Amino acid sequence: MNDKRLVKAAERIESPRLLFVRPALSDAAEILSRYASDPEVTRFVAFRRHESLKETRDFLSWSDAEWERWPAGPYLVRSRADNLLLGSTGLSFETPSRAMTGYVFARDAWGHGYATEALRTMSAAAASAGVKRLYALCHTGHAGSWRVLEKGGFTREGILRRYMEFPNLVPGEPADVYCYALIL
């Protein structure tokens, strides 16, 4: 992080049930097996489903570069109860005051309110790191995801037509997305 005006986020954050940690190379096998290679989990995400450890390691290199350059980057989400890897979230900075967030959870972690708890935690971390606009994009057909954003206080600003590719859904075809934002 070269710009000394930027405030570094904590690399480890706790919420009532969850632990958020900066990813490390030693997490690769767990990330791959818990969620990144699962076709159902990755249907509505922007990254291509991982088929090998190399792809997961590439993600970890990118994560390190993000953490070096910006106040934060991806976080892995673990259960505080037993340290099980549940999923991933994070802050993807575009400028010192604008960042994007998102979340992906292993199938056995759905339906417990974890994504909502993660989103609230990321919103607080973003505010502490000086973010003024935190936003998220989600496929218009993915009601579970935008429900989480609405529970987290995000406002739907509009629809971006043919904006983003979902490589595991319809490769090569940009889809419509909703843009949600939280002003901090």
Ligand X SMILES: CC(C)(COP(=O)(O)OP(=O)(O)OC[C@H]1O[C@@H](n2cnc3c(N)ncnc32)[C@H](O)[C@@H]1OP(=O)(O)O)[C@@H](O)C(=O)NCCC(=O)NCCS
Minimum distance from residue 146 beta carbon to ligand X (Å):
8
In whole angstroms, give the CA distance from residue 52 to residue 155: 37
Decide whether 6 or 160 has the Cβ nearer to ligand X: 160
Give the C-alpha distances (Å, rounded to integers) separating 181 from 107, 110, 114, 156: 26, 23, 19, 7
User: Looking at 9, 28, 32, 41, which residue binds ligand X (CB under 6 A)?
Assistant: 41
List the structure tokens of 182.
């939280």
Minimum distance from residue 141 beta carbon to ligand X (Å):
9
39 burial level (CB within 10 Å; 0-12, 13-18, 19+):
exposed
Question: 104 Cβ partners below 8 Å, 6+ apart?
Answer: 35, 41, 42, 45, 87, 88, 89
Minimum distance from residue 49 beta carbon to ligand X (Å):
11
List the structure tokens of 174.
């940009």
Binding mask 139-158 for ligand X (x = CB under 6 A): ---xxxx-xx----------
In whole angstroms, give the CA distance from residue 20 to residue 78: 6
96 to 115, contacts with ligand X by CB under 6 A? 102-105, 110-115
User: Looking at 9, 32, 138, 175, which residue binds ligand X (CB under 6 A)?
Assistant: 138
Minimum distance from residue 131 beta carbon to ligand X (Å):
19
Indicate the helix (H) or strand (E) that contains 163: strand 155-165
**What is the gyration radius of the CA atoms in the chain, in angstroms?**
16
Binding mask 51-80 for ligand X (x = CB under 6 A): ------------------------------
**If binding is defined by CB under 6 A, does position 168 make contact with ligand X?**
no
Decide whether 29 or 144 has the Cβ nearer to ligand X: 144
Minimum distance from residue 149 beta carbon to ligand X (Å):
9
In whole angstroms, give the CA distance from residue 21 to residue 93: 17
Residues engaged in binding ligand X (CB under 6 A): 41, 44-45, 87, 102-105, 110-116, 138, 142-145, 147-148
